[in-house]
Structure 1
Amino acid sequence: MDSLWVLAGAGFAAGAMNALAGGGSFVSLPALIAVGVPPVLANTTSTVALYPGSMASAWAYRDSLSGVGEVPLRPLLIVTLLGGIAGALLLLNMPSRSFNAALPWLLLAATCALGFGRRVGEWVRTRCRLRPAVVLCLQFCLGVYGGYFGGAVGIMMVAVWSLLGAHDLKRMSGPRVLMVTAANTMAVLIFIAAGAVDWPAAAVMLVTASLGGYAGAIAGKRIPGSVVRYGTLALTACITVAFFVRARG
């Protein structure tokens, strides 16, 4: 019963975080590992469990979907889907010990993206402006990362898009959620086909993450962005430190 409540609460929180700022896997992945799911299976299960929440968020943002800078929405979507396929296949075909060793560093990269991604994007934008073709290549790489792990991938996308001159964060919320959902769509299909899902755990999170995703999208229109950002950053930093400690133990 305790495990049920842990998974339910983590699912809701993760769904809300993905809608607000990204990084929901920082909550769902540790929760699954805490209740005894092996790390790689926990990662695939987390992706499947959070998927409906991402879909709910994308639906909530359906009226604000558009291209980014000079890049239309369709090419961004296609390369993200292809990247999601590559990332999911990479995860399933790598030794589990490799993923375990990489996990703390993946969390650290995601935490840095949450904390500094937008600033780095703005700093680089003042010095260069990328062509749409380059941005599409970077978007493919982000799709790979999204299919493989995905922590804070939405923030990474916003940082890259800022290099196109797109700096209206609120306007980019819709495309961000859609692209994250696109990468996850391919990963989810592959993980299900491969039988790489802990369905009892996923079932609990599927429901609560959907509720959290929609609630987070609605709340995101009212809560100050600074509150969301700093709260998310503090939580992700603590979890990252905990996983480095775990890796040394």
Structure 2
Amino acid sequence: METTILIAVAAFLAGILNAIAGGGSFLTFPALVFAGVPPVIANATSAIAVFPGYLAAAIGFKEDISSVERKQLIRQTGITLVGGLIGALLLLVSSNDFFTAIVPFLLLASTAIFAFQDRILAWGRSGGLQLTPYGAIGTLVVAIYGGYFNGGLGIVLLALYAMWGLTNLNVMNGLKNGVSFVISAISVLTFAIAGLIVWPSAIIMMIANILGGYFGAKLAKRLSKTIVRNIVIAVGLVMSAVFFYRLFI
């Protein structure tokens, strides 16, 4: 019962966090690991647990998403499907030991990118770096990352959008949730076929995550950008510290 409550609460809060700014897997993945699920299987189960919440949140941002040209939306969908599949296939050939060793570095890196995205963007512009908005290479790289390791996907996407020069947080959140759903859908299908999903836990977490995602989309439009950023950064740093502790202690 305690384990069920733990993963359900983690999934609900993850839905809220993903809708607001990303980083929901910082909660679902550790919850499954702490519940005794092996890291690779925990990552796969976490991916299926949060992906319905992405759809619920995207629906909450449908007006903001519709402001993006349809041609670009279709193009982004195609690229993310390819990248998500590549990332998922890479996870299938990763061992638990290897995955456990790189998780804290992935968590910390994604948190740092989000925390310093304004400085990174300013540095890039001052150095003549110009990223093409809705560019294929950036989208593909992030999609591969998301298919391999769902943790921090929303944060990395927001950082990418910032590097593109997007400034409307609601549009960025809408795109982030829509793209995250597409990446998660193809990776979840791959994981399910490979038999990496702990279905009883996944179903409980999916239901809780849908509720959290819809609630979070409404909440996101009421919170200031500063509060959102601080929440995500704090969660990312705490989870990074926890996994570094598990790796070295």
- TM-score, normalising length from structure 2? 0.92
Q: Distance in 2 between matches of 1:51 and 1:163?
A: 25
Aligned partner of 1:223 in structure 2 is 223
Task: Tell me how far 1:186 sits from its aligned partner.
Answer: 0.5
Q: CA deviation at 1:118?
A: 4.1
Offset, 1:183: 0.8
Q: Is the 8 A contact 2:14 2:209 kept in 1?
A: yes
The structural deviation recorded for 1:28 is 0.5
For residue 111 of structure 1, report the CA deviation from its aligned partner.
Answer: 1.6
Q: Secondary structure at the match of 2:116?
A: helix
- Structure 1 unaligned segments of length 5 or more: list them: none
Runs of 4+ in 1 over 6 A off after TM superposition: none
Distance in 2 of aligned mates of 1:224 and 1:171? 15
- For residues 155 and 163 of structure 1, the distance between their equivalents in structure 2, rounded to whole angstroms, comes to 12
Which amino acid in the other structure matches residue 10 of structure 2? A
Distance 2:90 2:206 in 1: 24
Distance 1:80 1:168 in 2: 22
Q: Tell me which amino acid in the other structure corresponds to 1:218.
A: K
SS of 2:223's equivalent in the other structure is coil
Question: What letter matches 1:101 in structure 2?
Answer: A
Where in structure 2 are the equivalents of 1:33-112 lying within 5 Å?
33-66=33-66, 72-112=72-112
What is the aligned partner in structure 1 of residue 115 from structure 2? 115
The answer to whether the Cα contact below 8 Å between 1:122 and 1:162 also exists between their aligned partners in 2 is no
- CA distance in structure 1 between the aligned counterparts of 2:34 and 2:133, rounded to whole angstroms: 42
Which residue type is aligned with residue 227 of structure 1?
I
Tell me how far apart the structure 2 counterparts of residues 118 and 147 of structure 1 sit (CA, whole Å): 26
Aligned-partner Cα distance in 1 for 2:179–2:107: 20
Identical aligned residues as a percent: 38
Equivalent pair of 1:57/1:214 in contact (CA under 8 Å): yes
With the length of structure 1 as denominator, give the TM-score of the two structures. 0.92
Compute the RMSD of aligned alpha carbons. 2.0
Match of 1:128 in 2: 129
User: 1:238 deviation in Å?
Assistant: 1.3
Does the aligned pair in 2 maintain the 1:57–1:177 contact within 8 Å?
yes
5+ unaligned residues in a row in structure 2: which ranges? none
* Alignment check: 8 A CA contact 1:53 1:206 kept: yes
Q: Give yes or no for contact 2:61–2:170 (8 Å, CA) kept in 1.
A: no
